[in-house]
Amino acid sequence: MFDNDLLTYLETYLTEERKRRFLEVLQQRTRHITVAVEDVYQLHNTSAILRSCDAFGVQDIHVVESRFGKRLDKNIAMGAEQWVDVYRYKNVADCISKLREDGYQIIATTPHNDSTLLPDFSPLEKSAIFFGTERKGLSKEVMEQADGFLKIPMVGFSESLNVSVSAAIIIQQLAQKVRNSQVEWQLSDIEMLEKRLDWTKKSIKNVDGIIKRYLVE
């Protein structure tokens, strides 16, 4: 059960401006779309995608790290990892299984298939958008299990963009489409409370000691 009293207590350590900012941001957060990144090699690319999730209001990112190990650079993410929930997987099968369990359709981004163009795609269903490695794109496993394919329309000679650029464009466009739709895209009341508590804890120095004092009192 959620501890409202603890949240109220800890928020006394925040400024009114900080509390107001948390509420404003949470009103725009969504889990209706989510992002999955498969074995991206360059640290800065995964970290940049994480920043895009935060900037455009996507609460979760799922990172498959089966080949290259941990793929987040805190210096590049610039603190975004505090505000976005990061889920890590050792293989793509576990990632897809978890997303399907949570009700997501799997959408693979690729410029090579007979993909749906970004302007024509409407995420009326919960959608997990997969991005792949810089050179080879998504694995055969993701492509075979995908429920749909998505690409950015381009009119130049280049066939593809840097993965972090592609992700930023797609995340921004889909997040805006979701907010303009009639689907229930916002976090639930309990999810908002949980994130308020999480973000409040991350904003307070020595929060563990403060919580211990609260529990004793």
Q: Note the pLDDT of residue 66.
A: 61
Q: Note the pLDDT of residue 73.
A: 55
Task: Locate CATH 3.40.1280.10 in the chain.
Answer: 30-185
pLDDT tens, position by position, 22-77 = 999 999 999 999 999 998 766 788 889 999 999 999 999 999 986 544 545 555 44
Q: Note the pLDDT of residue 114.
A: 81
Helices (H), the chain: 4-10, 16-26, 43-56, 74-77, 92-101, 140-145, 163-179, 189-202, 207-216
153 in Cβ contact with 113 (< 8 Å): no
Q: Note the pLDDT of residue 72.
A: 55
Residue 8 has pLDDT above 60, yes or no: yes
28 in Cβ contact with 179 (< 8 Å): yes
207: nearest Cα among 192, 197, 195: 197
Average pLDDT score over residue span 193-212: 95
Give the alpha-carbon dihedral of 201, 73, 89, 131, to 10 degrees.
120
pLDDT tens, position by position, 181-191 = 999 999 999 99
Q: Note the pLDDT of residue 143.
A: 95
pLDDT tens, position by position, 115-158 = 999 999 999 999 999 998 867 889 999 999 999 999 999 989 88
Give the Cα separation of 183 and 215 in Å (integer).
40
Residues for the chain: how many in total? 217
Q: Note the pLDDT of residue 68.
A: 47
Is residue 100 very low, low, confident or very high in pLDDT (cuts 50, 70, 90)?
very high
Give the Cα separation of 204 and 198 in Å (integer).
11
CA-CA distances (angstroms) from residue 163 to 15, 118, 125, 166, 169? 38, 15, 24, 5, 10
Residue 12 has pLDDT above 80, yes or no: yes
Binding residues: 109, 152, 161
List all residues 6 or more positions away from 130 whose beta carbon is below 8 Å from its beta carbon.
36, 37, 38, 106, 107, 108, 109, 138, 142, 146
173: nearest Cα among 116, 133, 211: 116
195's torsion region: left (phi>0), alpha (psi -120 to 50) or beta? Answer: alpha
Q: Which CATH number fits domain 30-185: 3.90.850.10, 3.40.1280.10, 1.10.150.530, 3.10.20.310?
A: 3.40.1280.10
Give the Cα separation of 164 and 53 in Å (integer).
11
Residue 78 has pLDDT above 90, yes or no: no
Binding residues for S-adenosyl-L-methionine: 109, 152, 161
Which residues, listed in sequence order, are joined to residue 133 by a DSSP beta bridge? 137
79 in Cβ contact with 128 (< 8 Å): no
